[in-house]
Amino acid sequence: MSLALSPQTRDALAGWLASQSALKNASENTLTAYRGDVTDFLAFMTAHHGARQGLGPLSQVTVSDMRAWMAATRGDGVSPRSLARKLSAVKSFYRWLAERHGFEPTAVLATRSPKFRKKLPRPLDPDAARAMLDTVPLQSAKGWVGTRDAAVLTLLYGCGLRISEALSLTGSDVPLGETLRIIGKGGKERIVPVLPAARAAVAQYLADCPFPPEDDAALFRGARGGPLSPRAVQKVMAQARMQLGLPATATPHAMRHSFATHLLNAGGDLRAIQELLGHASLSTTQAYTAVDTARLMEVYASAHPRGRG
């Protein structure tokens, strides 16, 4: 599809992606998604107008063109959520492009995103979370693999780590202390407390693992000694949840949701939980926690000066 673009447009796309990487610290996966989204949009415009899309034609995209693209994309079976993501990438590209080439991008920027319901995370209840931690180690015939899986899930549930964060730990991070320095999304650093149960789970894994820890190697190893993959953790949780009769929403990420929800339900401060999770926005933390409006208002009232009066 990129062959249908002019060299100037290809250079512009590369420049925009470079800016996303440099200014927003976007990950490789995010950049790949951005590239695909914008390239698909440009390819559609090429077919729609029957001509190669240079910067001139791109500066003249109309509201009608945008509606045609969105209709065609939805017609291809793309969900409203995915279309909203694609539109966001296109708008970002156009905003960058217009600033550098001096054209008016209103037709693109004014395009409304399709409405969709945000899927709220579904945490496990406390009993189910504990049952999962007890059941996961029993899924492997190799004892050290079971203690490894238990250690990973204990970090997700006990420290609120993302699975990518847990699996990015290296031998230089052990033995675990009372806190752990985590580099999360967007390169944002946070310090999380490490509960005794998490320290004990990781220590047991280290004692059982046949591969000694190395400072520059993954802490959690696969069966052959390479880095443990997220897919392996997802698979063992799928096996455990079938035994426990839990729904398909009982995933590794649900353990992180459960950390936030159970902490808030026990009286934890929403702002503090936001910091522990590494969320940039408090609204993200609210969506992460399965609490009702009354509970949120209770937390708000206890924190607000007028509420305490």
Residues serving a catalytic function are 162, 185, 253, 256, 279, 288
Q: How far apart are CA 198 and CA 40, in angstroms?
A: 45
What is the H or E stretch that residue 190 is in?
strand 189-193
With beta carbons less than 8 A apart as the criterion, state whether 37 and 86 touch.
yes
Q: Which residue type, as a one-letter code, is found at position 276? A: L
SS3 181: strand
Sign of CA dihedral 195, 299, 132, 237: negative
Helix and strand numbers, DSSP H then E, in the chain = 16, 2
| Side-chain half-sphere exposure of 55, counting CA atoms within 13 A | 18
With beta carbons less than 8 A apart as the criterion, state whether 9 and 55 touch.
yes
Q: Which residue type, as a one-letter code, is found at position 93? A: F
The two tokens of residue 210 are: 């046949």
